[in-house]
């Protein structure tokens, strides 16, 4: 079964909009875990507009499931990851002013830089994943950095899914095949939801993990957090 990692950034966004500590991000992470999530994902950005660096430090010692930290590898981020030592770090090529992640790495152009960062994390026992699009060349380039996994950027799939799910899936099925042939573990994330997740999971062999935040936290407003996580887990069976 594909593992579900819940991205809790949106919970921090609500907290930060008002100030104080409501909702409590730490309690939310624990509740996600208790409700069946097999991982917790956070994506601290330099301006700390949602998840703060201190949130990352607070969450690490209390959760028992996999902890995944996403982000662009500036020095401050690298230092945080090396301090906290999560189970996995996902490197994302988003600039500081990006509203959300909106592209994968050009692993050919950035091969030397990524190789250095990946090597540093792996020396410290941290599994690495690179956020990539479905372009086979970028997946093959990711393998050359020594990374353990890639995370497929699935917004194009989600956008095309309502009109033609098979056409939407095709480039990702090819990307998954290329990743497996290159010896890479396979994650996926971005705009996966209760409408499109099952079809993606059923047709991407070897998918290890999906990271879902915005849609899942939004659905929790209607169904409640525990039930929502169960609904997403049901899509992955």
pLDDT tens digit sequence for 39-56: 999 999 988 999 999 999
Beta-carbon contacts of 220 under 8 Å, excluding residues fewer than 6 positions away, are 228
Does the annotation count 43 as an active-site position? yes
Separation CA 186–CA 74 (nearest Å): 24
Q: What is the structure's pLDDT at 98?
A: 58
Q: Find the catalytic residue in 33, 50, 66, 190.
A: 190
Query: Residue 3 above 60 pLDDT?
Result: yes
Is residue 196 within 8 Å of 236, Cβ to Cβ? no
User: Mind listing the pLDDT tens digit for each residue in 175-216?
Assistant: 999 999 999 999 999 999 999 999 999 999 999 999 999 999
Domains held by the chain: number: 1
Catalytic residue, chosen from 66, 70, 151, 209, is 70
pTM given for the model: 0.95
Strand partners, 130: 91, 150
Q: Alpha carbon of 5 to those of 38, 44, 67, 179: distances in Å?
A: 6, 16, 8, 20
Show the tokens assigned to 199.
Answer: 């079809």
Q: Identify the active-site residue in 33, 43, 66, 209.
A: 43
**pLDDT higher than threshold 60 for residue 99:** no
Domain holding 141: CATH number?
3.20.20.70
What is the domain range of residue 206? Answer: 3-235
Secondary structure letter of residue 33 according to DSSP: H
């Amino acid at each position: 079964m594909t593992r579900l990692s819940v991205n809790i950034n949106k919970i921090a966004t609500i907290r930060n909009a008002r100030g104080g500590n409501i909702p409590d991000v730490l309690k939310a992470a624990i509740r996600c875990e208790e409700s069946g999530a097999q991982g917790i994902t956070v994506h601290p950005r330099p301006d700390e507009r949602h998840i703060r660096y201190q949130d990352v430090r607070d969450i690490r010692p209390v959760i028992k499931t996999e902890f995944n930290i996403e982000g662009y590898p500036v020095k401050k981020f690298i230092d945080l990851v090396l301090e906290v030592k999560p189970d996995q770090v996902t490197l994302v090529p988003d600039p500081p002013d990006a509203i959300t992640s909106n592209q994968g790495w050009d692993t050919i152009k950035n091969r030397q830089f990524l190789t250095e960062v990946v090597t540093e994390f792996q020396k410290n026992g941290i599994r690495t994943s690179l956020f990539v699009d479905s372009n086979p060349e970028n997946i093959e380039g990711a393998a050359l950095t020594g990374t353990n996994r890639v995370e497929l950027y699935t917004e194009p799939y989600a956008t095309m899914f309502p009109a033609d799910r098979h056409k939407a899936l095709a480039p990702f099925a090819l990307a998954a095949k290329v990743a497996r042939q290159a010896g890479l573990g396979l994650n996926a994330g971005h705009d996966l939801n209760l409408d499109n997740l099952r079809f993606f999971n059923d047709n991407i062999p070897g998918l290890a993990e999906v990271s879902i935040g915005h849609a899942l936290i939004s659905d929790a407003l209607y169904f409640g957090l525990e039930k929502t996580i169960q609904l997403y887990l049901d899509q992955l069976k």
